[in-house]
Chain A
C-alpha cells in the first residue's frame, strides 16, 4: 500500500523495482516544493525495510517506526537549523554532515534490512559536500539506498545526477487534488476547489493550508495588500515597497512568495480578459478579477506580468531589493493615465 496520491509512474517504477529486486542504490527525486517528494522517499524507505510480503504494508513494526521517524537505519539529512545564538541559519549542507553519513554507510543496517539516507534539499549541498558523496554513489554498498530530494535540479552537480536514477514528480492535476481534499481530508467543496487551484499541483501545500487556517488567512491578507495599493498614488506605493523589503534580509522567501501571489493574480486577470474564466486560480475572487480585467487593456496586463517576472528574477540575482520593488511600483498599470511620476 503506497497510499500516494498521484505520481503513478514513479510509484509503479518503484513497485517493479521491489518485485524484481532491482531497487537502485540512489534515487534523485525532482519536483516542486510540497509535491510529495519526502512522502515518496519515506514510503520507499518503508518498502525496503518492510517485513510483510506486500511492501510497504504501513502496519508492521518497521513501517510504523519509520513513519514516526524513530527507525535507526533511516537518516534524514537537511539544512541544520540555526542554533539559538545564531541570527541567520546555515545556507548550505556542510561537508561535516556528509562525512558523518559516509562513516555509517559502510556499517551494516542496525535493525532493518536497508539503510536509507534521505537528503532533503540536495541543491543546498556545498560543492565540496556533493563531491564527497561521488565515490559512495559510484561504488554502491549493498543494503544502502540514497534518496536525494531537490526542487531545483539545475543546481545539482551533473556528476551527482548521472550517478542516480532520476524520478520526476510532476505537479498533480488540480482535479486530483480537489478530489483528495474532499475524500481524504473532508474539506468543504468551495475551499477544496480554491486550495486545489492555489496549490499549483502540490498536494502537500494544500494539506498544510487545510491543517493551518492562518496560512489561507495570510494569503488573503497579502492579496488585499496588493489590491489596496493598486489604485493608490505613488506615495502610498513607495511606503508599501519599503514595507515589503523591510525583512528581506532575514527571510528572502516571503517577498518571493508575495510576488508569486501577485503574478498569479495577474495571470488570472489575463485569463478573464481573454475570456477563459474557467481556468483561473483565485476562484474565490472572480468578481474582483472581472472588475480589474475591465479596467485595463490587454497590452497593459501583459506588460505588467512581464514586469513582475522581471522583478522576481532580479531579486533572485541579488539586485538591491528596495530598488527592484520601487521600479515595480512605478511600473504598475496606469489605466490610461500618465505613467510617469515626473510631470
Chain B
C-alpha cells in the first residue's frame, strides 16, 4: 500500500469514523481503524460490532493495500500534523509509515484480514429521506427512548416505512414520542424495524452541511440497516423484537385543551423542577380559563408557583407530571406554541406543537394528593 492524501481530509475522516471505534471491547482489533485503498480513494473503516462506519477520502493511490492501526494513535498523530500538508503513507510489512512535511511516524498495525467483516447490504428495502426532516425527527424522538436495558426493544427507535411515510417512535414506559416524515422514494411494502438510539445519535452527528438526502436500506431479514451519505456509510445492527403497538396509547379525545407559548411553558416547568427535585420531580399543572398554573413543592425546602397565559378549551383540569419529561419535550420543539390535552388526572397528557401535525408526545401523569 502506497498513497498520499491531504492532512485535513484524513483528519476529518478519522474524526468521523472514530465515533464507531469500540471503547471497551473483548476484541482488541476493534480499537483499530482499517485503511483500505478503493480505486482512487482511501476508505477508513471502524466498527464496535454494533455499527460500522466507512468514510472515503480522496487520495493518490500508487499501490493498493490494506492495514488496520490503532485508531486513537493515528488520529492523535494526524491531528497534530500541520494543516494543508500532504501526507505520504506507505505500508512496509505490517508497519504503516507516514510522512508529512518534516515529520515521520511508523505505526505497527494488524493485518486487515483479522478485522471483523463489514456487512454488505446489496438488496432489501431501499428508500431515501430529506436531511432536515430526519434531523428534526431524531432530535424530537430519540431522547424518549429507554436508557436501561430491562426492556431491550425500548432502547431503540421504532421506524415504520409505509408508502411514502416514515414514522419514528420511541418510548420508555412513561412517555412516547412519535414523529412522521415523508420519504423521498415510496416503499413497496410496509417495513417496521427498531434502530438503536445510539445509531441515530451518531447519524445525526454525521450529517454534514452539504448533504441533502440520506439513503436508507434495510436487509431482507431485518437485522441490518445501511445509511448512505455522500462520502460516508453507516451500517448498523437492528434491535430484534417487536415494538409495542403504540398507536392505541395515544388518547383520541380530551376533556381540556390548553394552548401556550413553548418558551413560557418551558421556563415555568424548569423553575418548578428546581423545587420538585426533592419530591420525585412532581410538577402540578392546573388549567383554568385563560391560564395555566405550574407549581411544585417540597415539604422541607418550600414551593413555587407560576402562571402562564393560555387559551384553555373545555373543563378545568388538574394534572401532575414528572417535570423532567415536560422540559425534555419542550426543549426540542421548534414551534412557537404548543397544545396540552388532558382528560383526567390519571390519564396521559398529549403534547402537540401548534401548526405541525407531524409530532405527538404522550406523557404519563403522576398520581398526587391535591
Q: Residues of A with Cβ closer than 8 Å to B?
A: 70, 72, 75-77, 99-100, 102-108, 110-111, 135, 141-142
In the bound complex, do residue A70 and residue B29 qualify as a contact, i.e. CB atoms below 8 Å apart?
Answer: yes
In the bound complex, do residue A106 and residue B241 qualify as a contact, i.e. CB atoms below 8 Å apart?
Answer: yes
Can you name the residue of chain B whose Cβ is closest to the Cβ of A98?
B149
In the bound complex, do residue B27 and residue A70 qualify as a contact, i.e. CB atoms below 8 Å apart?
Answer: yes
In the bound complex, do residue A107 and residue B237 qualify as a contact, i.e. CB atoms below 8 Å apart?
Answer: yes
CA distance in complex: A142, B241 (Å)? 10
Which chain B residues lie closer than 8 Å to A99 at the CB level?
149
CA distance in complex: A142, B149 (Å)? 17
CA distance in complex: A61, B114 (Å)? 11
Q: Which of B27, B116, B150, B196 contacts A107 (CB 8 A)?
A: B196
In the bound complex, do residue A110 and residue B239 qualify as a contact, i.e. CB atoms below 8 Å apart?
Answer: no
Can you name the residue of chain A whose Cβ is closest to the Cβ of B29?
A70
In the bound complex, do residue A108 and residue B223 qualify as a contact, i.e. CB atoms below 8 Å apart?
Answer: yes
Instruction: Give per-residue flags for B232-250: 1 if the beta carbon is below 8 A from chain A beta carbons, else 0.
Output: 0000011111000000000
Which chain B residues lie closer than 8 Å to A100 at the CB level?
24
Can you name the residue of chain A whose Cβ is closest to the Cβ of B151?
A135
Can you name the residue of chain A whose Cβ is closest to the Cβ of B116?
A72
Instruction: Please give the distance in Å from A141's CB to the nearest CB on chain B.
Output: 7
Q: Which of B50, B150, B153, B238 contacts A104 (CB 8 A)?
A: B50
Which chain B residues lie closer than 8 Å to A105 at the CB level?
152
B49, CB-defined interface residue at 8 Å:
yes
Which chain B residues lie closer than 8 Å to A108 at the CB level?
223-224, 237-238, 240
Q: Supply 19 A–B pairs (Cβ within 8 Å), ascending by A.
A: A70-B27, A72-B116, A75-B26, A76-B26, A100-B24, A102-B149, A103-B50, A103-B149, A103-B155, A106-B152, A106-B153, A106-B239, A106-B240, A106-B241, A107-B240, A110-B119, A111-B117, A111-B119, A142-B240
Can you name the residue of chain A whose Cβ is closest to the Cβ of B222?
A108
Instruction: Please give the distance in Å from A237's CB to the nearest CB on chain B.
Output: 47
Instruction: Give per-residue flags for B298-325: 1 if the beta carbon is below 8 A from chain A beta carbons, else 0.
Output: 0000000000000000000000000000
Instruction: Please give the distance in Å from B20's CB to the nearest CB on chain A.
Output: 13
In the bound complex, do residue B50 and residue A107 qualify as a contact, i.e. CB atoms below 8 Å apart?
Answer: yes
Instruction: Please give the distance in Å from A78's CB to the nearest CB on chain B.
Output: 10
Which chain A residues lie closer than 8 Å to B238 at the CB level?
107-108
In the bound complex, do residue B239 and residue A70 qualify as a contact, i.e. CB atoms below 8 Å apart?
Answer: no
If over half of B's interface residues share one DSSP class (helix, strand or loop), that class is named, otherwise mixed; here it is: loop
Which chain B residues lie closer than 8 Å to A110 at the CB level?
49, 116, 119, 237
In the bound complex, do residue A72 and residue B149 qualify as a contact, i.e. CB atoms below 8 Å apart?
Answer: no
Which chain A residues lie closer than 8 Å to B29 at the CB level?
70
Which chain A residues lie closer than 8 Å to B152 at the CB level?
102, 105-106
Assuming A72-B30, A102-B152, what are 20 further A-B pairs, CB within 8 angstroms? A70-B27, A70-B29, A72-B49, A77-B26, A99-B149, A102-B149, A103-B50, A104-B49, A106-B149, A106-B152, A106-B153, A107-B50, A107-B238, A108-B224, A108-B237, A108-B240, A110-B49, A110-B237, A135-B150, A142-B240
Instruction: Please give the distance in Å from A231's CB to the nearest CB on chain B.
Output: 52
CA distance in complex: A102, B26 (Å)? 14
Can you name the residue of chain A whose Cβ is closest to the Cβ of B110?
A70
CA distance in complex: A75, B238 (Å)? 19
Query: Would you list the 3 A-B pairs with minimal beta carbon distance, nearest first?
Result: A106-B152, A108-B223, A72-B116
CA distance in complex: A75, B196 (Å)? 20
CA distance in complex: A111, B119 (Å)? 8
Instruction: Please give the distance in Å from B197's CB to the nearest CB on chain A.
Output: 11
Instruction: Give per-residue flags for B19-34: 1 if the beta carbon is below 8 A from chain A beta carbons, else 0.
Output: 0000010110110000
Which chain A residues lie closer than 8 Å to B237 at the CB level?
107-108, 110
In the bound complex, do residue A107 and residue B26 qualify as a contact, i.e. CB atoms below 8 Å apart?
Answer: no
Which chain A residues lie closer than 8 Å to B150 at the CB level?
135
- Which residues of B from 91 to 119 have beta carbons under 8 Å from A? 114, 116-117, 119
Instruction: Please give the distance in Å from B29's CB to the nearest CB on chain A.
Output: 7
Instruction: Please give the distance in Å from B194's CB to the nearest CB on chain A.
Output: 9
Which chain B residues lie closer than 8 Å to A141 at the CB level?
240
Which chain B residues lie closer than 8 Å to A142 at the CB level?
240
Instruction: Please give the distance in Å from B234's CB to the nearest CB on chain A.
Output: 15
Can you name the residue of chain B whose Cβ is closest to the Cβ of A135?
B150
CA distance in complex: A103, B30 (Å)? 17
CA distance in complex: A102, B148 (Å)? 10
In the bound complex, do residue A107 and residue B239 qualify as a contact, i.e. CB atoms below 8 Å apart?
Answer: yes
CA distance in complex: A2, B223 (Å)? 31
Which chain A residues lie closer than 8 Å to B116 at the CB level?
72, 110-111
CA distance in complex: A38, B354 (Å)? 61
Instruction: Please give the distance in Å from B238's CB to the nearest CB on chain A.
Output: 7
Can you name the residue of chain B whose Cβ is closest to the Cβ of A77?
B26
CA distance in complex: A97, B172 (Å)? 23
Which chain B residues lie closer than 8 Å to A106 at the CB level?
149, 152-153, 155, 239-241
Instruction: Please give the distance in Å from B149's CB to the nearest CB on chain A.
Output: 5
Instruction: Please give the distance in Å from B240's CB to the nearest CB on chain A.
Output: 6
CA distance in complex: A100, B27 (Å)? 13
Report which residue of B24, B26, B50, B239 has the largest number of chain A beta carbons within 10 angstroms of its beta carbon.
B26
Given known A105-B152, A108-B223, A110-B49, contact A72–B240 (CB-CB < 8 A):
no
Instruction: Please give the distance in Å from A103's CB to the nearest CB on chain B.
Output: 6
Instruction: Please give the distance in Å from A106's CB to the nearest CB on chain B.
Output: 4
Report which residue of A72, A104, A135 has the largest number of chain B beta carbons within 10 angstroms of its beta carbon.
A72
Report which residue of B24, B149, B224 has the largest number of chain A beta carbons within 10 angstroms of its beta carbon.
B149
Which chain A residues lie closer than 8 Å to B224 at the CB level?
108
Instruction: Please give the distance in Å from A59's CB to the nearest CB on chain B.
Output: 17
Instruction: Please give the distance in Å from B176's CB to the nearest CB on chain A.
Output: 20
In the bound complex, do residue A70 and residue B223 qualify as a contact, i.e. CB atoms below 8 Å apart?
Answer: no
Instruction: Please give the distance in Å from B183's CB to the nearest CB on chain A.
Output: 25
CA distance in complex: A70, B111 (Å)? 12
Can you name the residue of chain B whose Cβ is closest to the Cβ of A107?
B237
CA distance in complex: A75, B48 (Å)? 13
CA distance in complex: A22, B53 (Å)? 36
Can you name the residue of chain B whose Cβ is closest to the Cβ of A65?
B114
Instruction: Give per-residue flags for B208-243: 1 if the beta carbon is below 8 A from chain A beta carbons, else 0.
Output: 000000000000000110000000000001111100
Can you name the residue of chain A whose Cβ is closest to the Cβ of B27?
A72
CA distance in complex: A39, B113 (Å)? 25
